[in-house]
């Protein structure tokens, strides 16, 4: 029987242990690690089919990002580093929900729907994992899946999500984007970064010193390996290197959501603290000023800093390329006002989830996209890339643009590459973190989670800023918001948790808190 071995191995080693229906969502599959073995196995099967379908290497990343340590998850990476194509997200859901005996039929149906995938064609799958204790075991399950479907595996071991995206892309484009190895990633980025500061690492109020909060995860390991390549161009002191619990009271998600300094990092005044999340694809900055006041600089601050710098370089180089910024509804209103009114850079709003932002960013020659939580990157159209590289021969600003392009990991949001991008802009401007922070002041805001019987009853439109159902909810939200100066609030069902998220901002923290509570009550 076709795919018979896939069924046999499933029954013998990876039987289905969960009966409830599960869905491949924005974060792939993510849940308690104990419930994931059969899903990992099946994603190994699916990655093999997808590799045959695309005639390219497919990536499988085992991580639950910023979630607590007992969780885990899996995401597939398409050939050019993109998130899995929507039709294949549906296939992933089908295969994950099939019975053990139904696996062969599900695989055959997927193969047929994809236009006839031959079961004996070669397939290569790149696998990476984060530092969770369960990730090693779950890697074995993915490998078993690939092998049962007749494919081959290259295991990158413990690696960040963005490095896996990078190597998949580099392998599939024949090495044009870079060398498809972890070392190739460090080399490409470090070389470009060093060129941007040949005149010395200190400049004006900028000092090349950072405190690095590794969230006790893979980001710390990647950064430690990266440091030798970076030489003196940046001095990073490492904290939360794995001595504590992953993502616990530290890391990008904790710092952003709790708006607190990470534990385990000394509270040095006027020092930049860089926090990454559990798979190193998000980054958040924070600092304590000379008066002891704490400030957090999120994805919006990064996006506006970067977009402003690109605008300046474009102007100086004389290149007429369309620059734009993509945010989500969670972007602080003050950041949107700053970038549109002060800098005059167009801003587009996308639904939550980087694949949506990425898609919208494609409409620009240079698309800067960031979620407020620090996940994002910059992408360049083919036209922009060529124009910049050509102009770089004779023009200093274009040359800088070209080097900045090589610091960026375009394949996906990348905490370490984004950090080096921020450091590049701060260095170019001679800015301290305080200078950067003073560009605009965030509107006070609050995020809340509300548990409801069925979150699917809430549907939204206009990039999730307006509720369509239940009937009347949006009118109620509007009438509540009207009571708060500078008030803005929206609700949407989470794509990764069984909750509804409420976001509110207002001119005071008390106002934002009360607005979130009032809107939360209207949802409940």
- What is the Cα Rg of the chain in Å? 23
Return the one option of Zn ion, ligand NG1, none that residue 330 interacts with (CB less than 5 to 8 A, by type): ligand NG1
Residues 6+ apart with CB under 8 A from 426: 206, 305, 432, 433, 435, 436
Q: Which of 205, 209, 494, 509 binds ligand NG1 (CB under 6 A)?
A: 494
* Min dist. Cβ of residue 384 to ligand NG1 (A): 26
Closest Cα partner for 187 from 196, 177, 178?
Answer: 178
* Min dist. Cβ of residue 244 to Zn ion (A): 18
Nearer to ligand NG1, 429 or 501 (CB): 501
Does residue 375 belong to the site contacting ligand NG1 (CB under 6 A)? yes
Within 10 angstroms of residue 175's Cβ, the number of other Cβ atoms is 11
Q: Which of 48, 54, 63, 65 binds ligand NG1 (CB under 6 A)?
A: 65
Nearer to ligand NG1, 385 or 465 (CB): 465
Q: Establish whether 373 is an annotated binding residue.
A: yes
Does residue 140 belong to the site contacting ligand NG1 (CB under 6 A)? no
Q: Establish whether 501 is an annotated binding residue.
A: yes
Q: Which of 72, 373, 397, 514 binds ligand NG1 (CB under 6 A)?
A: 373
Nearer to Zn ion, 281 or 300 (CB): 281
The whole-angstrom separation of Cα 356 and Cα 353 is 6
Q: Which of 371, 410, 423, 505 binds ligand NG1 (CB under 6 A)?
A: 371
Closest Cα partner for 209 from 230, 187, 240, 182?
Answer: 230
Closest Cα partner for 153 from 143, 145, 163, 161?
Answer: 143
Q: Which of 41, 156, 330, 484 binds ligand NG1 (CB under 6 A)?
A: 330
User: What's 387's DSSP letter?
Assistant: H
Is residue 507 among the annotated active site residues?
no
For the chain, the residue count is 524
Two tokens at 500?
């509804």
Closest Cα partner for 414 from 301, 277, 295, 308?
Answer: 277
Return the one option of Zn ion, ligand NG1, none that residue 496 interacts with (CB less than 5 to 8 A, by type): ligand NG1
Closest Cα partner for 206 from 415, 34, 372, 428?
Answer: 428
Strands 152-158 and 124-129 come out as parallel
* Min dist. Cβ of residue 361 to ligand NG1 (A): 15
Strands 459-461 and 466-469 come out as antiparallel
Does residue 26 belong to the site contacting ligand NG1 (CB under 6 A)? yes
Return the one option of ligand NG1, Zn ion, none that residue 130 interacts with (CB less than 5 to 8 A, by type): none
Q: What is the DSSP string of 412-440?
A: S--HHHHHHHHHHHHHHHT--HHHHHTT-
* Min dist. Cβ of residue 71 to ligand NG1 (A): 12
The whole-angstrom separation of Cα 315 and Cα 321 is 10
Q: Which stretch binds ligand NG1 (CB under 6 A): 340-348, 432-440, 472-480, 491-499?
A: 491-499
Q: Interface residues with Zn ion (CB under 5 A)? A: 65, 277, 279, 281
The whole-angstrom separation of Cα 456 and Cα 133 is 33
* Min dist. Cβ of residue 352 to ligand NG1 (A): 5
Q: Establish whether 281 is an annotated binding residue.
A: yes
Nearer to Zn ion, 138 or 345 (CB): 138
Closest Cα partner for 242 from 127, 130, 135?
Answer: 130
Q: Establish whether 277 is an annotated binding residue.
A: yes
Q: Establish whether 279 is an annotated binding residue.
A: yes
Q: 270 and 290 in contact (C-beta within 8 Å)?
A: yes
Does residue 351 belong to the site contacting ligand NG1 (CB under 6 A)? no
The whole-angstrom separation of Cα 346 and Cα 365 is 12
Return the one option of ligand NG1, Zn ion, none that residue 277 interacts with (CB less than 5 to 8 A, by type): Zn ion
Q: Which of 129, 147, 455, 501 binds ligand NG1 (CB under 6 A)?
A: 501
The whole-angstrom separation of Cα 9 and Cα 4 is 9
Cα within 13 Å of Cα(281), Cβ side: 27
* Min dist. Cβ of residue 79 to ligand NG1 (A): 21
Nearer to ligand NG1, 53 or 281 (CB): 281
Does residue 352 belong to the site contacting ligand NG1 (CB under 6 A)? yes
The site for ligand NG1 (CB under 6 A) is made up of: 26-27, 65, 330, 352-353, 371, 373, 375, 494-497, 501
Q: Which residues are annotated as a binding site for substrate?
A: 371-373, 492-496, 501
Q: Which residues belong to the active site? A: 65
Q: Which residues are annotated as a binding site for Mg(2+)?
A: 65, 277, 279, 281
């Amino acid at each position: 029987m076709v795919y018979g071995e896939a069924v046999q191995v499933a029954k013998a080693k990876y039987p289905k242990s969960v009966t409830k229906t599960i869905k491949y969502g924005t974060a792939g599959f993510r849940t308690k690690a104990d419930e994931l073995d059969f899903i990992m196995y099946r994603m190994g099967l699916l990655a093999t089919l997808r590799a045959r379908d695309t005639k390219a290497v497919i990536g499988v990343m085992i991580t639950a990002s910023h979630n607590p340590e007992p969780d885990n998850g899996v995401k597939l990476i398409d050939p050019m580093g993109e998130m899995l194509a929507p039709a294949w997200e549906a296939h992933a859901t089908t295969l994950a929900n099939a019975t053990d005996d139904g696996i062969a039929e599900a695989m055959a149906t997927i193969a047929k729907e994809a236009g006839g995938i031959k079961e004996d064609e070669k397939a290569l799958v790149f696998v990476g994992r984060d530092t969770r204790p369960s990730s090693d075991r779950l890697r074995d399950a993915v490998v078993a899946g690939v092998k049962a479907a007749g494919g081959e595996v290259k295991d990158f071991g413990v690696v960040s999500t963005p490095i896996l995206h990078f190597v998949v892309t580099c392998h599939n484009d024949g090495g044009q984007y870079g060398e498809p190895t972890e070392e190739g990633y460090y080399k490409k980025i470090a070389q470009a970064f060093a060129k941007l500061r040949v005149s010395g690492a200190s400049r004006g109020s900028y000092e090349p010193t950072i405190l690095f909060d590794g969230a006790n995860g893979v980001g710390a390991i990647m950064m430690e390996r990266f440091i030798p390549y970076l030489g003196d161009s940046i001095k990073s002191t490492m904290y939360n290197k794995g001595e504590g619990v992953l993502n616990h009271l530290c890391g990008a998600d904790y710092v952003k959501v709790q708006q607190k300094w990470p534990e385990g990092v000394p509270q040095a005044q006027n020092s930049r603290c860089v926090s990454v999340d559990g798979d190193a694809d998000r980054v958040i900055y924070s600092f304590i000023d000379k008066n002891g006041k704490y400030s957090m600089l999120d994805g919006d601050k990064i996006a506006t800093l970067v977009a402003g710098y690109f605008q300046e370089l474009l102007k100086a180089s004389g290149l007429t390329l369309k620059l734009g910024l993509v945010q989500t509804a969670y972007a602080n209103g003050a950041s949107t006002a700053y970038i549109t009114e002060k800098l005059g850079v167009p801003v587009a709003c996308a639904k939550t989830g980087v694949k949506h932002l990425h898609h919208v960013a494609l409409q620009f020659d240079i698309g800067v996209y960031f979620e407020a939580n620090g996940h994002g990157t910059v992408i360049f159209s083919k036209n922009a890339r060529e124009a910049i590289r050509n102009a770089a021969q004779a023009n200093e600003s274009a040359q800088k643009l070209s080097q900045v392009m090589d610091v960026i990991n375009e394949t996906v949001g990348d905490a370490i590459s984004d950090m080096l991008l921020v450091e590049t802009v701060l260095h170019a401007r001679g800015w301290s973190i305080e200078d950067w922070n003073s560009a605009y002041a965030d509107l006070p805001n609050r995020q809340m989670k509300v548990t409801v019987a069925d979150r699917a009853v809430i549907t939204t439109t206009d990039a999730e800023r307006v509720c369509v159902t239940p009937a009347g909810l949006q009118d109620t939200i509007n009438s509540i918001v009207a009571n708060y100066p500078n008030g803005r609030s929206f609700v949407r069902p989470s794509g990764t948790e069984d909750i509804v998220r409420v976001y509110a901002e207002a001119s005071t923290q008390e106002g934002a808190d009360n607005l979130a509570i009032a809107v939360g009550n209207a949802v409940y």
